[in-house]
Amino acid sequence: MDIEKVLGLVAGQDVMERAKQLAIINQEKTEHSIMAKIGEHLVEVTDAGEYSCDCEDALYRKRICKHVVKVLLDPRNRDIAEEFLRAVMGGKKAGKFVKFHSSGLKEIDKISMGIPEGYLIALFGPPESGKTILAYQIMGNVIKGKGNLLVLDTERAYPMYEMWLDKFFDGYDIHIVELGKKLPQGNYVYVYQVEDIVELLSLHGKSARVKVSDKGKVELVPDKGWTISIRDTAIYELCENGNVAGIIYDSVTEPVEEFGTAQQNLGARNQAYKWVLTTASKLVESRKMFGIAIFHETVNPTNPRDPPKIKGGTGVKYNIKMALYISRDRTSHTPKTESRPKHVREVWVARHFNLPPWVEYGEIELTAQGFKDWRR
């Protein structure tokens, strides 16, 4: 493992540069952990991916601080640093390390190490940036030969993208899923057109009702009970029956936004997001699938204080450990020193929303054949 490179992705280049200027005053190392004194700060790092430091960044901002990075960069701590980084990237369960597969685009693999298996990733971007096309293309690359694709189409947008599915899933047939009817077996892209938030929640084991108040406001009322085991959810059953290796939520934002913007809905709306995304993560993890959840929200990838937010709600952090952000055309984030073709997009990567996000970007170009690496 190239510790410096991975640390750069996880903690951010700027944090790494600052860490290099520090000195370890003394340190004590055991088989699984390191305690170190750096300046006035006391740092602890374990091979299970845990860390603590009494500086502001670690304590209040819950970020891997420069002191922790310094400990991990020290050549004496290589063994623990490797385990630490594996644990951080793969969730904290020991022994559960993530396998990355090529996205088919070098620019994306370069910044993200590829597409993780058993891991729901978020894809953010403004309208018409090519999120759906990119999601289909990546899935075509990672699941071909491993199984089928399930698209949860919440926007009824699939007919617009049928041509792209044909391109990226050559040899696959497209089947519109109807509840209660058997899935055809073979190589398929199953498209499930989700009616609304109630149906989306129900697929994920949670029942809820939409209620219209006397004042005409629409409210989501979740029922108390839910299906606790992921295996008992309708979405799991669908994936089992259809030999599904990859799932795309296109999008998770749409059905949740649709049921109203009334202030009183915020709590229920956040709960709905949390439920869907947590269950989706469990689904992808338990079946070792690939998962992409598309969000309409935009973020500023150069601002670490601007984590992706649900409209009017809290940050999206529900078990999503990696996110891609795709820009539309040229953005203001990068120097305008050269002219770039109109269809070149920046793709930024962020790991875990508790970490400083969006440290690096790659450039891809949208062509009639799909996205291609674009080199300066």
Q: Which residues bind Zn ion (CB under 5 A)?
A: 53, 55, 58, 65, 67
- Helix runs in 287-365, H state only: none
User: What DSSP letter does each residue of 150-215 carry, written as one string?
Assistant: EEEESSS-HHHHHHHHHHHTTTPEEEE--TTSPPPPSSEEEEEE--SHHHHHHHTTEEEEEEE-TT
What's the rounded Cα separation, in Å, for the pair 141 and 105? 9
What's the rounded Cα separation, in Å, for the pair 284 and 142? 14
Q: In the bound complex, what is the minimum distance in angstroms from residue 352's beta carbon to Zn ion?
A: 17
Q: In the bound complex, what is the minimum distance in angstroms from residue 124's beta carbon to Zn ion?
A: 29
> How many Cβ atoms sit within 10 Å of the Cβ of residue 181?
9
The single residue listed with the structure tokens 């079946």 is 287
Whether cis (ω within 30° of 0) applies to the bond prior to 251 is yes
What's the rounded Cα separation, in Å, for the pair 259 and 241? 30
Q: In the bound complex, what is the minimum distance in angstroms from residue 54's beta carbon to Zn ion?
A: 7
DSSP 98: P
Q: In the bound complex, what is the minimum distance in angstroms from residue 78's beta carbon to Zn ion?
A: 20
Which CB, 39 or 222, lies closer to Zn ion? 39
The single residue listed with the structure tokens 């190392």 is 29
What's the rounded Cα separation, in Å, for the pair 236 and 317? 22
Q: In the bound complex, what is the minimum distance in angstroms from residue 365's beta carbon to Zn ion?
A: 40
Q: In the bound complex, what is the minimum distance in angstroms from residue 69's beta carbon to Zn ion?
A: 9
How many residues appear in the chain?
Answer: 376
Q: In the bound complex, what is the minimum distance in angstroms from residue 323's beta carbon to Zn ion?
A: 24
Q: At how many degrees (to 10) do helices 3-11 and 13-20 cross? A: 120
Which CB, 53 or 149, lies closer to Zn ion? 53
What's the rounded Cα separation, in Å, for the pair 128 and 231? 36
Q: In the bound complex, what is the minimum distance in angstroms from residue 55's beta carbon to Zn ion?
A: 3
